[in-house]
Amino acid sequence: MRLMTSSRQLQVRRRAIAGLRLCAATAALVAAVTLTAGVACRKATSASAVAPDTSPVRIVLGWAGDPATSQAVTWRTTAAVASPQAQIGLAAPDCGGAIGPVRNIAAVARTIDVGRNQRATHYKAGFTGLAPATRYAYRVGSASSSSRWHCFSTASAEAAPFRFIYLGDAQRGLGKRWPEVVRAAFAAAPGARFVVHAGDLLDEGYDDGQWRAWLAGLGDRAAELPGVPVPGNHDVMRSRLSRVAAAPDIWNAHFALPANGPADLPELAGQSYYLDYQGVRIVALDVNAFANEDFRESQRSKVQAAQLTWLRNVLGENPQRWTIVVQHYPMYPVAKHRDFGRMRAALGALYDKFGVNLVLQGHDHAYGRTHKVYDGRLADPEAPGTVYATSVSGSKMYAITTRWRPLMARLQQDAQLYQVVSVTGDTLSYESRAVDGTAIDAFELVKRSSSASRYVNQAPRPAGVAPQGREN
């Protein structure tokens, strides 16, 4: 089955719109229409009334498994289509389409309730058997309608330099102020390979309109750069009704994520997972069960136990040189009146034991980044330890607390930020910038051995402010 080409699709739409305009103009100017005009009007009216909208929208690139040999994609149509599929081939120059053989990949369809008595059908297709470090073009749709071509690159099968973007909570300002951060981040990090979203993507995770706005903020970038999202408390907010810390259907409908989370928590698939990318193990950990008290305690205990067992395995059997954890709730909060001591005790011990290098977090609607920390205290720059960062990308802001100031290299409030993390062999470089490009923070970790790295603080010191914490 062939997908309709994008140009053909555009032609059909333009003709339909032209026909509708002709109808409106004709009806306004003359009462007795000519036969020709009447026929054109009936055709356009009939087409718009009966033709279901099968155009693919909300195309989101995701993961099917090993980033070196696979990728995945999800999309939606208003009206369900028969035989949904994706097509993939080697990318032509400038992503103008595919060259050489094109494979057809059947998609799995799922119709979900999106609120307000509306339903939508989402599709998920996995691309497997790909070549590492190779650029591919793909499109999605059906016989009646297809997307334009989008492109992505598979990861190298070995450690190799790359960078990615890390964004804290979007949540508010999705229509204008958050997209400004997205544009700034992508402009600052050309060639970034994925985007980490540290939870609370939306204010209400069940709100289809907010999903539309969030994806509109990403634009076509969502179809060409996969995300690494973890759910925050706002993303699972209404789950409390079911007393299960599960993300809503609409979360998994929009995201294709590695199915390698805790095997005994199938109801939480797509919320905790990991992927290995060019020498870095990235663990996305849903910590709602540790810090979100909206859920029944017995349920939280069960999820915590399963996740800790899983986490021990994922961190303990890790052949990658670098380890980064992404979680929503911060281990060392920067917003006032917050503390997640039980979570800090449970997870901090594992991060210490298994040498996690960096933890990327959200939730506090402010910025804070620690020096290297071990066992809750400042670590020597050359000793084992973990750097914890908390950031915000949306417009909702909270005041900062001074409770953990001795650990902090940098605190900042009232600023929408993006971060770029670069990994080049033995060096992991991190920088945080405001939406206008102002440098907010930076540091480097330089590997000394498989277990130890040298921490180099590069945070700019605000004028007239005494240094906080350890300087290097």
The residue among 232 and 248 lying less far from Fe ion, judged by its C-beta, is 232
Residue 364 interacting with Fe ion (CB under 5 A):
no
In the complex, the smallest distance separating the C-beta of residue 72 from Fe ion, rounded to whole angstroms, is: 27
Q: Which of residues 188-217 bind Fe ion (CB under 5 A)?
A: 200
**Chosen residue from 363, 365, 372, 433 binding Fe ion by CB under 5 A:** 363
Residue choice 85, 233, 278, 357 for contact with Fe ion (CB under 5 A): 233
User: Are 64 and 136 in contact, with CB atoms under 8 Å apart?
Assistant: no
CB-nearest residue to Fe ion = 363
CB nearer to Fe ion: give 58 or 363.
363
Residue 44 or 392: the one with the smaller Cβ distance to Fe ion is 392
Q: How far is the CB of 234 from Fe ion (least distance, A)?
A: 6
Closer residue to Fe ion, CB minimum distance, 66 or 235: 235
142 is a site residue for Fe ion (CB under 5 A): no
Shortest CB 350 distance to Fe ion, Å: 22
For Fe ion, the closer of residues 137 and 285 by Cβ is 285
Quick one: 396 or 403, whose CB is closer to Fe ion? 396
Total residues binding Fe ion (CB under 5 A): 4
Q: Which stretch binds Fe ion (CB under 5 A): 112-120, 131-139, 229-237, 350-358?
A: 229-237
Q: Give me the least distance between CB of 328 and Fe ion, in Å please.
A: 6
Could you say which residues in the range 413-432 bind Fe ion, by CB under 5 A? none
Residue 232 lies near Fe ion (rule: CB under 5 A): yes
* Nearest CB to Fe ion, comparing residues 198 and 250: 198
Q: Minimum distance between the CB of residue 204 and Fe ion, rounded to whole angstroms?
A: 12
In 3D space, the residue among 308, 324, 307 whose CA is nearest the CA of residue 388 turns out to be 324
Q: Which residues bind Fe ion (CB under 5 A)?
A: 200, 232-233, 363
